[in-house]
Structure 1
Amino acid sequence: MTGSSPSRPSRDDTKTADIESFPDEAVKGNFGTQAELENVTAIVDHKAERALCRRFDVRILPMLTIMYLFNALDKGNLGNAETDGLSNDLNFKEGQYNLILSIFFIPYVIFAPPFAMLGKKFSPARVLPILMFTFGSMTMCSAATKNFGGIFALRWFLGMAEAAFFPLVIYYLTMFYRRGELARRLAIFYAASNIANAFSGLIAFGVFQFPKSSLENWRYLFLIEGGVTVLWAAFAFWYLPRSAAEAKFLSEDEKALAFHRIQVDSSAVVNEKFKFREAIAIFKHPTSFIFLFIEICLGVPIQGVALFMPQIIERLGYKTVKTNLYTVAPNVTGAVMLLILAFCSDFAKIRSPFIVLGFLLTFCGFIVYASIDDVQAKIDVAYFATFMMTWGTSAPSVLLSTWYNNNIAHEGRRVLLTSIGVPLANLMGLVSSNVFREKDKPKYEPALITVACFGAVGALLAGLLGLYMWFDNKRRDRRAGVKMRARDIPTERMRDGPSSPEFRWFL
Structure 2
Amino acid sequence: MCRRKVDLHLMPLMCILYLMTFADKISLGQSAVMGIIADNNLSQNQFNWLSTVFYLSYLAFEYPQNLALQKFPVGKWMSMNIFVWAVALMAHAACKSFGGLFVVRFILGMCEGAITPGFLIVTSMFYTREEQSKRVGYWFLMNGAAAIFLGLVAFGFIHTHNDNFHPWQWLMILTGLVTLVVSGLFWFFFPDSPVSARFLTPEERVKVIQRIKVNQSGVENKHWKRDQFLEALCDPKTWLLAIFVASANLFNAVTNQRQIIVNQFGFSLGQTTLLGTVDGAVEVLVIFGMVRLIRYVGHCYAAILSFVPAVLGGILLITLPSQNKVGLLFSYWISIFAIAPFAISLGWMNNITAGHTKKTTVNAIVLIGYGIGNTAGPFMWKKMYQPRNRVPWAVLTGFCGFSAFIVFILRTHLALENKRRDNEEHDAKYDDVYVTHVEADGTTVEKKVDRAFLDLTDIKNREFRYVL
TM-score (norm 2): 0.90
Amino acid in the other structure paired with 1:340? G
Q: Residue in 1 aligned with 2:58?
A: 108
Q: In the aligned structure 1, how far is the partner of 2:313 from the partner of 2:103? A: 35
Amino acid in the other structure paired with 2:214? V
Following superposition of structure 1 onto structure 2, how do residues 155-234 of structure 1 map, counting pairs within 5 Å?
155-234=105-184
Point out the more displaced range, 271-280 or 222-231: 271-280
Q: Residue in 1 aligned with 2:33?
A: 83
Q: What is the aligned-residue RMSD (CA, Å)? A: 2.1
Q: Residue in 2 aligned with 1:464?
A: 409
Amino acid in the other structure paired with 2:322? V
- What's the CA shift string for 1:305-342, capped at 9, x where partnerless? 31211122123211112102112112212112211221
Following superposition of structure 1 onto structure 2, how do residues 261-280 of structure 1 map, counting pairs within 5 Å?
261-265=211-215, 267=217, 269-280=218-229
State whether residues 109 and 427 of structure 1, in contact with CA within 8 Å, keep that contact through their aligned partners in structure 2: yes
Following superposition of structure 1 onto structure 2, how do residues 8-407 of structure 1 map, counting pairs within 5 Å?
51-93=1-43, 95-265=45-215, 267=217, 269-280=218-229, 281-301=231-251, 303-345=252-294, 347-348=295-296, 350-372=298-320, 374-377=321-324, 379-393=325-339, 395-407=340-352
- What's the CA shift string for 1:129-186, capped at 9, x where partnerless? 1111111110100100111111111111111111221111111111100000001111
State whether residues 322 and 388 of structure 2, in contact with CA within 8 Å, keep that contact through their aligned partners in structure 1: no
State whether residues 282 and 417 of structure 1, in contact with CA within 8 Å, keep that contact through their aligned partners in structure 2: yes
State whether residues 179 and 265 of structure 1, in contact with CA within 8 Å, keep that contact through their aligned partners in structure 2: yes
Task: Give aligned pairs, total.
Answer: 445
Kindly state the Cα deviation for residue 380 of structure 1 after the two structures are TM-superposed: 3.5
Amino acid in the other structure paired with 2:303? I
Q: Secondary structure of the equivalent of 2:459?
A: helix
For structure 2, the 5+ residue unaligned runs are 428-449
Q: In the aligned structure 1, how far is the partner of 2:29 from the partner of 2:354? A: 39
- What's the CA shift string for 1:449-469, capped at 9, x where partnerless? 111111110001111221232
State whether residues 303 and 404 of structure 2, in contact with CA within 8 Å, keep that contact through their aligned partners in structure 1: yes
Kindly state the Cα deviation for residue 492 of structure 1 after the two structures are TM-superposed: 4.7
Sequence identity percentage:
22
Q: Residue in 1 aligned with 2:431?
A: none
State whether residues 103 and 152 of structure 1, in contact with CA within 8 Å, keep that contact through their aligned partners in structure 2: yes
> Aligned in 2, Cα 1:100/1:304: closer, same or farther, shift over 3 Å?
closer
Point out the more displaced range, 225-234 or 496-505: 496-505
For structure 1, the 5+ residue unaligned runs are 1-50, 483-488
Kindly state the Cα deviation for residue 494 of structure 1 after the two structures are TM-superposed: 8.6
Q: Residue in 2 aligned with 1:36?
A: none
Structure 1 segments of 4+ aligned residues over 3 angstroms from their partners: 478-482, 489-494, 498-503
Q: Residue in 2 aligned with 1:415?
A: 360
**Residue 495 of structure 1 is aligned with which of 437, 456, 465?**
456
Kindly state the Cα deviation for residue 272 of structure 1 after the two structures are TM-superposed: 1.4
Q: In the aligned structure 1, how far is the partner of 2:331 from the partner of 2:152? A: 21
> Aligned in 2, Cα 1:494/1:406: closer, same or farther, shift over 3 Å?
farther
Q: In the aligned structure 2, how far is the partner of 1:164 from the partner of 1:146? A: 29
Kindly state the Cα deviation for residue 480 of structure 1 after the two structures are TM-superposed: 4.2
> Aligned in 2, Cα 1:198/1:53: closer, same or farther, shift over 3 Å?
same
State whether residues 409 and 491 of structure 1, in contact with CA within 8 Å, keep that contact through their aligned partners in structure 2: no
State whether residues 2 and 204 of structure 2, in contact with CA within 8 Å, keep that contact through their aligned partners in structure 1: yes
Q: In the aligned structure 2, how far is the partner of 1:354 from the partner of 1:434? A: 29
- What's the CA shift string for 1:382-415, capped at 9, x where partnerless? 222222222221x211211211210112122112
